[in-house]
Structure formats: structure tokens, C-alpha cells
Structure 1
Amino acid sequence: MTADTAITPAQENAIARRNALLYATCQAFGGAAAPLNFALGAIAGSYLLGPDKGLATAPVTGYTLGVALGALPAAMLMRAVGRKRGFMAGALIGIGGLLFATWALTVHSFWLFCAALMVNGVSGAFVQQYRFAAADRGQMDFKAKAISWVLVGGIAAAVLGPQTVIHTKDLLLPVPFAGAFLSGVALLLASLVVMLFLAPSTPLPPAADGSAPHTGRPLGEILRQPRFAVAVLCGTAAYALMSLVMTAAPLAMIGCGFTAEESTLGIQWHVLAMFVPSFFTGSLIARYGKARIVATGLIILVACAVVALLGVELAHFWGALVLLGIGWNFGFIGATAMLTEAYRPEEKGKAQGANDFILFGTVALASFASGQLLNAWGWDSVNAIIFPVVLVSLGALLWLARLERKAAVAAG
């Protein structure tokens, strides 16, 4: 810690850039497990169920619920043992979950498969911490870029995950899809190798009187801050809407007569659209501000719903999924950058964990509701949900802007 206090801002940003590149590589391999689970979760769930397909998206819900349940423990574990050891633990959990999913498919058990994807979700909670880990270092004006750089690793994940599905889903026939989950183990093993190059985290220093490190304000006080609350709302809205539509899309495409390969390619284009904008999202945030980029992302989500409601040709599905990914990118990265301004360094563990618990708990509900909406009222009903949620989120952004403008005038 003493050495860190003497380095220049340029040196600090150089350290942050190296960290961001390593975390981006981890994202490429470890993050590839997420599109694998999303691409196959509902389809494999449908295969394991009987004639009633209403619970087909439950495995995907299990995954997102696992992310929610793992959010706080992941953040707390990293606070206790450091980022490097924490991320390695998360990868090992993911390897166990993928092996569990392979076995569940082999014994043709729907509920064991749901449980396995929940374990994969717990591992995914650690992956979600990459973006926050990248923002641990660097000057304030670099943090949005660092978050964006890490998510660039999602471009490789967007290719690796779906391509793993396409090329290995029949590897263990006559059990369909099991080969893809078994092959996913290799992706997490690769991420473990990259983690070996991460520098061990430096723990928080003790207080001046030698007592335990100060942990900052109570969590309730942090949550009540307007900027924190609006950042959580907008980030949650962007992610939950993305999950709602993406989870239903493979089933909707197959229901309209398209193949599993076409459905998986649609998810690949979607995940690419989620991460390709990360090349410039950080720069856009620096130029136009976080709130404007979040608002732009929310408006793009509305465009996604409009395209999806125009028809059920393959172009409508793929076009909507691409817009869904871009809207998520702007909304989620912008909201994450807003969030990093609403807590102090010593509060990051509980603040980040609380954010991810709220976010992924809502995402889990969205993915579960997705299957129910699709089964009961069809594809149009899934997309119609976007309009009111975006309206509320945009209203919250306007309220925050007015509140902060009044505070600035009062201050001076």
C-alpha cells in the first residue's frame, strides 16, 4: 500500500490497463460458459420435460438464481482472500457444475439439470466480478474504460460458447446436449491458467489504531443514495429485459420452425452484440456522460421490441436479438459506471454484492416469467413488457438529473 501511494496517475492507469487485459482474457474463457447455458438451458429443459413445456426455461432461471445467490458470497470471499483466489474458486465451482449438468442429462433428470445450472450460476457470480475488479485500479476517468475493456472479452465468449454448443452438443449421443456441457470444462480450465498471472490482491490496511479495517457506511445508507438506487434500477432493468427476451427467443424460434443451429447462431449474434460495442462504450461514456448512455441503451431496447413485434421471420428474431445486445451493453455498462461513483473503496464488497444480488435476483424472476409468458400468451407478450419497464427507468434518470442539478445550484 505504501508503494501504491507514491505512484503517479499514469503509472496507476498502466497497472489498471494490465489488470483489465488479464480480466478480459478471463472473461473470454470463463464468460463463455454463460452463453452455453443460455443457448441450451431452455432447449435441453424442453427435451427433459414431458408434453407440458411451461417449465422449459426453469434451468435458465436456475442459472440466474445461482448468480443472485452467489453474488454476496463471491464479493465477501474476494474481500477475505483476494480477487485472484476468489476467481479461482469460482472457476472450480463452474467446472463442478458443468460436470453435474452432463451427468443430469445422462440420467435424464430435469430437476437435477436445473440444480446443475444453479451451480453454474454461482460460478457466474464470480465472473460478474471481473468488471468490478477492473475498476479497483486506475484514475476515476479510466474506470469506465476499464469496465468496458473487460467486457470486450465477452466478444470471444460470444463465439466460444455457441460454437462449443454447435460442434459438441452431439458428442455424447445418444444423450443430446451433454457433450457441450462436458466440453465447457475446457473453457474454465483455460480461465484458471490465465488467473495464475493475476497479481494477488492487497488487503485493506488496518485502521490507525490497529483495529480491523473500516468497512464504511451501513449498507442501508449506501442503498438509499439516489445515484446508487437509480444505477441499480437501470442496470437491473437492462439486464432483466435482456434475460426475459433472450431466454424465450430460442424456444420461440424453434416453435416457428427454425432449427437448433439457427437458434444457437441467433444467440451468438446476440452475445456478440452485447460485447462488441464495448470497444467504444467507455469512450462514449467519457464524452457524453453515464446517464445519457444508459438512456440510449434503454431506447435501443424499445427498438428491439418493435422489431420483434413486426414479424416472426428469422431476420426479425436475429435483428431483435442484436438490438437487445446493444441496448444491454449501453444500459449495463453505463449503470455499472454510475454505481462505482456511489460507494467508497472500503465499501465496494458489500455495495457490489448487494447490487448483483438485487440485479440477478430480478433477472432470475425475469427468466422464469419468460417461459410462462411465452407458453401462455406467446412471443409478443414477452416483448411488450419492455415498454413500461423502460418508461419507468427513463423517468428515474430524469428525476436523478433534476435532483443533482438542484443540489449543484444549492452548493454554489
Structure 2
Amino acid sequence: MFAGRRNVLLLASSQALMLSAIVLSMSLAAILGALLAPDKSLATLPVAAMVVGTAIASLPAALLMRRWGRRSGFLIGASLGVAGSALAGLGLWQGSFGLFTLGHLLLGSYQGFANYYRFASAEAVDAAHTTRAISWVVAGGVVAAFVGPQLGQWGRDWFIAGPFVGSYLAQAVLSVVALGLLTQVRLKPVATAATGTARSVRELLSQPLLLTSILGAAVGYSVMIMVMTATPLAMLGCGLPGQSVTPVIQWHVVGMFAPSFFTGHFVKRFGAPRIMQTGFVLLLVHVAVALSGLEFLHFVSALVLLGVGWNFAFVGGTALLTQTYRPAEQLKVQAINEFLVFGLVATASLSAGWLYDRAGWAALNLAVVPFLLLALLASVGTELKTARLREAL
């Protein structure tokens, strides 16, 4: 194992706990939202609020971590997770759609802080092990595939006050455990890492590699969240039993995070753009599978492909991003990336419920195809342009 392994393992464990909480909500929020919402088209609003919370928190998180350090920011984020879980549980208990949605907004803010775990892991190791560290932290989500949905089902009837109230209180416990782990993280101050001269935002965004990494991560994540958010509703709408949703979400999350054990190796061998392109192709294949039928096997196969495609696009995009900034620019570029990526993801999640309610499952999947083709062509074009510049030098 490489130097800095203790920090990487702590961050990977914290990632697993955070994502277990997020996956629990992803598997329940749309279904519970449909029960609480005054209008069925608002069923996915709690999930959308979670993504909006992630986007909103990304810039303040970067500023707080620059001022007070990574660990302080991570502890604030985990505290938001505890508060969000408690508020969502209270919303369920009282039958309040507003409180339930607000709780998910705070849970999303938790993720907004926690999304910097992968960057912190990259800073904790030497340059030769950056992609491996990122991959191991992202791979912490494999645990979430089983803990999140299972915890949601276990906690369903813990309290007479209402179904799934116990699930959200158990979710709060996950965040408390994460708080304990994060107190043990030891990272160098951000100000120490960020020495030198920083370019302006305009200069940074003029880099084709930076734009390609942001576009690729944003499209890959948006497609994944839009389809995953609508999947429980689509399965129930097709007459499949409610208990069939959990294994589909579980295997989807396995698809999202299990490849991370070797994605870093692939990035080093083939380059980040090629891995991103593979991800977009897999996401297009997912669309074909999703449109081929409405049985359980179609859903689970499509969602596994959706997860693996997301992993390649997201890890590849993150690895490419780390090549586009100087030490003094790391927090600035990371904040820009998180805000733009999750801004688009928030838009996708907000539209998922409306699009499914108005147009159906097939139309929702077809709607993502143009964006995937755009990201694929942009990645190929940037790779070819970069190769020509290298040859000219």
C-alpha cells in the first residue's frame, strides 16, 4: 500500500458511510415522496432537493476548507448529515412533505462537503498514486450498495410513529460514526498545499481539458441520477412488486462503485479521456437495454450498466481534472467543478419526476441520448487535439 494509506482508508470508510446514507434515501425518497406529495409529479422533489443541496454546498465547502482545513469542513458536512436525517424522519412522522424535502436538502449538503474526500485523498499521496487513491475512496461506495437499502428495510417498522422513520434515524447514526472517523484524519493544511500563483477563472475555463472533464463528469452524473431517481417509480408503475426495487438499486450501486478497484489502473494505462469515452458508450448501451423491456431483468441489467458507465465517466473525469490545475488553484478548480457538475445534476433530478409523469419511462431514457453523444464527441475531439499539440512540440 502507498504512503498516506491511513488517511485514504479513513476517507474511504467515511465515503462508505456517507454513500450508505445517500443510497438509503435514493431507494426510498421517491416512493415516500409519492405518498407525501400533494402532486405525483413532485414525487422526486426530495431526491432533487438532495442534489440541489450538494450543488449549493460545494462552493461554501471549498471556502470553509481553505480557511479552516479539510477536516473541519468534513466534520461540518457530517453534522449536516445527522441533522438532515433527523429532519427527514420528523417529516415522515408528521406526514410533512416540506420537512421531508428539507431534510434531504441537508443530506445533499452533507454530500457536497463529502465530495471533496476524493480530492483530499489525492492530496494525501504522491503523484504516482493519485488515481489509485481516488479510486479507493470512490470504491467505498461498494459497502453502500448493501448497507443503504438494507438499512432502509430493517428500519421500516422500528417505530409505531410511521413506516421508515426508523430508517432515517439509523441513517443519522451512520453520519455520527462518520464524524468519529473524520476526527482521526490528518491532512496538511490547504494553505500549505496551495502555494504559488493562481490563474483567473476565465483563464482556467479556457482549457479544453478542464472543460472536457467538467462536461464529462456532469453529463455522466446527470444521466445516472435522472434514470436512477425515476427507476423505483417506473418499476412500481409497471406492476413489479415493491420489494423488487431494493435489489435493483443495490446492484446499480455495485455497478457504480465496484469498478473503482481497477478504474484507476485503467486510467493510468489508457488515459482518462479513453476511460470517459468508455463510460459514455456504456451509458448508451444502458439506454438500449432499458428500452428493450419492462421486466425485472431489464431493469436490473440496465441499472448495472448505468452504474458502470457512471463510474468510468466520473472517475475518468476526476482524474483528468487533477491534471488541469496548479497547486494554488486546486480548491478554486475543485469548487468550480463541483458547482457546475452538481448544478446540472440538480437540473436533471428536478426534471426526472416531471418527465416520467408526463412522458413515461421510454421518453426519459431517450432524452439522455443527445447529451451522451455530445460528451462523447467532445472527449474524442479534445483527445485528438491534445495529441496533435504533443506531436507538434
If the TM-score is normalised by the length of the shorter chain, which range does it land in?
over 0.9
- Whether the 8 Å CA contact 1:168–1:183 is kept in 2: the answer is yes
- CA positional deviation for 1:94: 0.7
Task: Look up the SS of the partner of 1:171 in the other structure.
Answer: coil
Query: How far did 1:105 drift?
Result: 1.3
Residues 396, 321 of structure 1: alpha-carbon distance in 2 compared, 3 angstrom cutoff: same
Q: Is the CA contact 1:16–1:137 (under 8 Å) kept in the aligned structure 2?
A: yes
What amino acid is aligned across from residue 349 of structure 2 in structure 1? S
Whole-Å separation in 2 of the counterparts to 1:257 and 1:39 = 17
Equivalent residue for 2:177? 190
**CA distance in 2: counterparts of 1:304 and 1:298, whole angstroms:** 10
Q: Is the 2:234–2:361 contact (alpha carbons within 8 Å) kept by the matching residues of 1?
A: yes
**1:107-147 deviations in Å (ceiling 9; x for gaps):** 21112211111111001111111111111132333111110
Q: Which amino acid aligns with 1:366?
A: A
Structure 2: unaligned runs, 5 residues or longer: none
Superposed counterparts of 1:259-298, under 5 Å: 259-298=241-280
* SS of equivalent residue, structure 1 residue 54: helix
CA distance in 2, matches of 1:324, 1:22: 28
Partner residue in 2 for 1:368: 350
Other-structure match for 2:61: 74
Partner residue of 1:381 out of 363, 370, 374: 363
Matched, 1:37 2:19: no
Q: Distance in 1 between matches of 2:137 and 2:94?
A: 37
CA deviations on 1:317-361 (whole Å, 9 max, x unpaired) are 111111100000111000000001001112111111111111111
Q: In the alignment, residue 122 of structure 2 is paired with which amino acid?
A: A
Pairwise CA RMSD:
1.6
Count of matched residue positions in the alignment of Structure 1 and Structure 2 = 393
Distance 1:142 1:245 in 2: 33
Per-residue deviation, 1:206: 10
Tell me the equivalent position of 1:121: 108
Could you tell me how far apart the structure 1 residues matched to 2:147 and 2:74 are? 20
User: Following the alignment from structure 1 to structure 2, what is the Cα–Cα distance between the partners of residues 203 and 307?
Assistant: 45
Using the alignment, how far apart are the partners of 1:269 and 1:239 within structure 2? 17
1:8 paired residue number: none
CA-CA distance at 1:406 after TM superposition: 2.6
Q: CA deviation at 1:205?
A: 4.0
1-structure distance, mates of 2:190, 2:310: 33
Matches within 5 A, 1:343-358: 343-358=325-340
Percent sequence identity is 41
Provide the residue aligned with 1:135 in structure 2.
Answer: 122
3-state SS of 1:185 partner: helix
- Which letter maps to 1:396? A
One-letter amino acid of the structure 2 residue matched with residue 239 of structure 1: Y
Counting only pairs closer than 5 Å after superposition, residues 223-262 of structure 1 correspond to structure 2 as 223-262=205-244
Q: Shift of residue 409 of structure 1?
A: 2.6
The answer (yes or no) to whether the contact 1:166–1:261 under 8 Å persists in 2 is no
**How far did 1:366 drift?**
0.5
1:16 maps to 2:4: yes
Could you say which residue in structure 2 is the equivalent of 1:3?
A: none
2:92 to 100, 105, 117: 105
Alignment TM-score, normalising by the size of structure 2: 0.96
For 1:75 and 1:300, locate their aligned partners in 2 and report how far apart those are by CA, in whole Å: 32
1:220 aligns with 2:202: yes
For 1:188 and 1:18, locate their aligned partners in 2 and report how far apart those are by CA, in whole Å: 20
- 3-state DSSP of counterpart to 1:293: helix
Q: Distance in 1 between matches of 2:173 and 2:368?
A: 36
What is the deviation of 1:191?
1.0
- Output the amino acid matched with 2:209: R
- Comparing 356-365 and 134-143, the one that deviates more: 134-143
Q: Distance in 2 between matches of 1:205 and 1:368?
A: 39
**For the residues of structure 1 that align with 2:124 and 2:265, how far apart are their CA atoms?**
18
Match of 2:34 in 1: 46
Whichever residue aligns with residue 315 of structure 1, its letter is L
SS in 2 for 1:398: helix
* Separation in 2, partners of 1:396, 1:79: 32
Question: Residue 276 of structure 2 contacts residue 316 of structure 2 at CA under 8 Å; is this kept in 1?
Answer: yes
Question: Which whole-Å CA distance do the structure 2 matches of 1:16 and 1:345 have between them?
Answer: 18
2:287 to 305, 311, 314: 305
Which AA in structure 2 matches 1:198?
V
User: Does the Cα contact within 8 Å between 2:198 and 2:328 map onto a contact in 1?
Assistant: yes
User: Which one-letter code corresponds to 2:75 in the other structure?
Assistant: M
Q: Which runs of 5+ in 1 are unaligned?
A: 1-12, 208-212
Q: Distance in 2 between matches of 1:350 and 1:369?
A: 29
Higher mean Cα deviation, 113-122 or 242-251?
A: 113-122
Matches of 1:39 and 1:215, distance apart in 2: 45
Structure number with greater Rg is: 1
Is the Cα contact below 8 Å between 2:65 and 2:190 reproduced in 1?
A: no
Contact 1:169 1:177 in 2 (8 A): yes
* Deviation digits for residues 255-293 of structure 1 (CA, Å, limit 9, x no counterpart): 112233211221111111101111111111111111111
- Equivalent-residue separation in structure 2 for 1:173 and 1:313 (angstroms): 34
Name the structure 2 match of 1:159.
146
CA contact (8 A) 1:273 1:323 kept: yes
| 2:325 counterpart SS class | coil
Contact kept? 2:255, 2:304, Cα under 8 Å? yes
2:73 is the counterpart of 1:86: yes
Tell me how far 1:89 sits from its aligned partner. Answer: 1.1
Q: Secondary structure at the match of 1:32?
A: helix
Matched, 1:65 2:52: yes
CA contact (8 A) 1:102 1:182 kept: yes
Q: Out of 147, 150, 157, which is 2:134 matched to?
A: 147
Which letter maps to 2:129? F
Task: Supply the AA of the counterpart residue of 1:170.
Answer: D
